[in-house]
Amino acid sequence: MNKAIVYYTIMVFLGMLSGYLYFFNKVIALIFFITISGVMAVTIKNKYAILMIIFLILGFGLFYQYFNIDVPRRGVYELKLDEYKEYYTEGEYKGRRVKLNLPDNKEKIKEGSYIKGHGVFKKEISYENGFIGTIYIDTVKETRSGILQKIYEFKNYTIDSFKETLGDKRAAVINGVAYGTVDSIDEDTMNQLKTLGIIHVISVSGLHIALVFSAVEKVFGYKVALIICFLYVIFTGSKAATIRSFIMIMMMKLSKCLYKKYNPLSALCTSALILLVYKPYFALNMGFHLSYISTLGIILFYNKIRKLLYKLPEKINSNLSLCLSAQVFVFPYTAFSFNNFALGFVIGNMILIPLYSVLVVLGMIYIPIQFIPVLKNVSVFLIGKLIDFIYFLCGILTAISPNISYMDYAIGIIYMAFLMGIIFYFNNIKWGKALALSACICAAISSYNFFPLIFPVKEGYEHGITVNDGFKRELIIINEGKSKKLRNKYVGFEIKPLKDKNMKVKLNSKYGILVNENKRYLITDKDYETLDLNVEGCIYTILNGKILKIGG
């Protein structure tokens, strides 16, 4: 079997999905598991079928073992403190992620340290993020430092150094781009990055590792570059994307030393297998998914797209091909998961990513030279000017870029059908062209609402109404909190906030929303209906001027 590691990784992943299903419905999990095993047994009639089933069982066992841990409800817990967040603290208990609620004197406990404390455990599982619950510590009995604490202290020292020299706003950018610390980045900057499709640049990723390795290798060689990259992975929090990139680079260099041919797909799957065994919850983690599917798109489609764009100048061709190939699988994933897509991603990636790449390298150079006053001042000056220039360009590009578009999950399915059609067509499968054309027609039809659909929506204490009419998508915000959850969820919708308690929002010439004395009415020329914002699953539509209520 060629590239067996690819199949083994897929089986471990499917085994973990069956483990996830097991916690919700044992019957469905069993059916899923037996179906996969049966397919393997029938389609692969040799020793590899047994190995595939073994890896399937391994995946199930790892996922089950991670989340099915017996934690005493009350007692003394030995923990590792990872990172302070705004509302909680992240830590580890016996290799599992936990949220920590520490006593008031927590400032004395440093990130990366080990603590022993008395408290209470509350089971609150988050399968996607790997949390098994929250431990409320009332008394810290013992603390001890480790190598991670020293690394985190040095990182915080560097971050504070930028705050002192650049100011909070500019420091937030360099600290986010170079070191993955995003908590201080202001909302306007985040929205600009989302609109331009480059939000990934402030979350240390494989791009950062590749840049650091390339820069260091040119000066000191690949051995030193690997060591620096390993330290950088730890320095930035050991995210899935950075570990993935480091493993792939290491395998590429080792293959040359051993005179073996480097296979990027096998390297990608090897890194995925290592990460899934290391942290089984990665099987459900969105960051893990996005990192791998974007890299998979580059591996499979970069050269193909580059050949199609051969008439473009080499540099533009290379960057554009990289940008487009990375989005091949990311596009349907974002449609399924986030219901939006940044149409300005080409502009953002082509123009701003090279500048942010320089910023990453400058951030790395700053780490060792910050203790030399002259070099530190020069570095801070260059970084500050570059950030100002990036802000200037972001403002211009955001103004000319299309808004983030709302994407229904159906668009993702249709896109996958279109992609399959194109692949089949280029592989001389006759009906591939028809499939691709049908997908385009379905996409146009599914994006258009022939009758207006009005949905009352709710996120926490925030209430609103979404209106889908034709190709238009509008969000009427009735009441909004500081977190702006509705705006963030319905990115790409035209926002229409209600400014007082007695007003009418005119949606078109035939109907609108009337707010009067805390009641909301959908009104037309011939009819009106009270909108109940507290009823979920309720849909209103209009046929011939009459309002119809569906569900609720």
pLDDT band, residue 274 (cuts 50/70/90):
very high
Looking at residues 467-489, what average pLDDT do you find?
72
Looking at residues 300-319, what average pLDDT do you find?
87
pLDDT at 297 over 50: yes
Among residues 119, 116, 123, 124, the alpha carbon closest in space to that of 136 is found at 119
DSSP string covering 226-294, please? HHHHHHHHHHTT--HHHHHHHHHHHHHHHHHHTT----HHHHHHHHHHHHHHH-GGGGG-HHHHHHHHH
Highest-pLDDT range among 279-293, 411-425, 461-475: 279-293
- CA dihedral (377, 382, 388, 394) positive or negative: negative
Question: Which residue has better confidence, 361 or 516?
Answer: 361
Which tokens in the block code for residue 128?
């996607």
Tell me the pLDDT of the chain averaged across its residues. Answer: 80
Whether the Cβ atoms of residue 95 and residue 277 lie closer than 8 Å to each other: no
Whether the Cβ atoms of residue 249 and residue 192 lie closer than 8 Å to each other: no
% of residues, the chain, pLDDT over 90: 11
pLDDT at 377 over 60: yes
Question: Which residue has better confidence, 461 or 51?
Answer: 51
pLDDT of the residue at 382: 92
pLDDT at 317 over 70: yes
Distance CA 51, CA 35 (A): 16
- CA dihedral (151, 154, 156, 159) positive or negative: negative
- 542 DSSP β-pair partners: 547
DSSP string covering 160-185, please? HHHHHHH-HHHHHHHHHHHH---TT-
pLDDT of the residue at 141: 83
pLDDT in tens, 195-206: 788 877 777 778
pLDDT at 433 over 70: no
pLDDT of the residue at 166: 87
Question: Which residue has better confidence, 503 or 327?
Answer: 327
Looking at residues 290-310, what average pLDDT do you find?
88
Which tokens in the block code for residue 308?
């199609």
pLDDT of the residue at 63: 95
Highest-pLDDT range among 69-83, 249-263, 415-429: 69-83
pLDDT of the residue at 16: 92
Whether the Cβ atoms of residue 339 and residue 419 lie closer than 8 Å to each other: no
Helix axes of 409-426 and 432-447: crossing angle, nearest 10 degrees: 160
pLDDT at 81 over 70: yes
Three-point CA angle 352, 483, 188, nearest 5°: 25
Could you tell me the pTM of the whole model? Answer: 0.77
Among residues 456, 477, 468, 452, the alpha carbon closest in space to that of 536 is found at 456
pLDDT of the residue at 350: 85
Distance CA 146, CA 290 (A): 32
Distance CA 213, CA 225 (A): 5
Looking at residues 352-367, what average pLDDT do you find?
88
pLDDT at 488 over 70: no
Give Cβ neighbours of residue 286 (< 8 Å, ≥ 6 apart): 128, 337
Distance CA 187, CA 193 (A): 10
pLDDT of the residue at 410: 62
% of residues, the chain, pLDDT over 70: 78
User: What CA–CA distances, in Å, run from 397 to 131, 387, 392, 401?
Assistant: 39, 15, 9, 6
User: What CA–CA distances, in Å, run from 381 to 154, 172, 326, 357, 541?
Assistant: 22, 16, 34, 17, 58
**In 338-407, which ranges are continuous DSSP H helix?**
345-347, 353-369, 373-400
Give Cβ neighbours of residue 149 (< 8 Å, ≥ 6 apart): 110, 111, 112, 113
pLDDT of the residue at 60: 94
pLDDT of the residue at 523: 61
Q: Report the relative pairing of strands 503-506 and 494-497 from DSSP bridges.
A: unpaired
pLDDT band, residue 552 (cuts 50/70/90):
low
Distance CA 158, CA 512 (A): 54
Find the range with the poorest average confidence among 52-61, 238-247, 526-535.
Answer: 526-535
pLDDT at 49 over 70: yes
Question: Which residue has better confidence, 134 or 39?
Answer: 134
pLDDT at 1 over 50: no
pLDDT at 86 over 60: yes
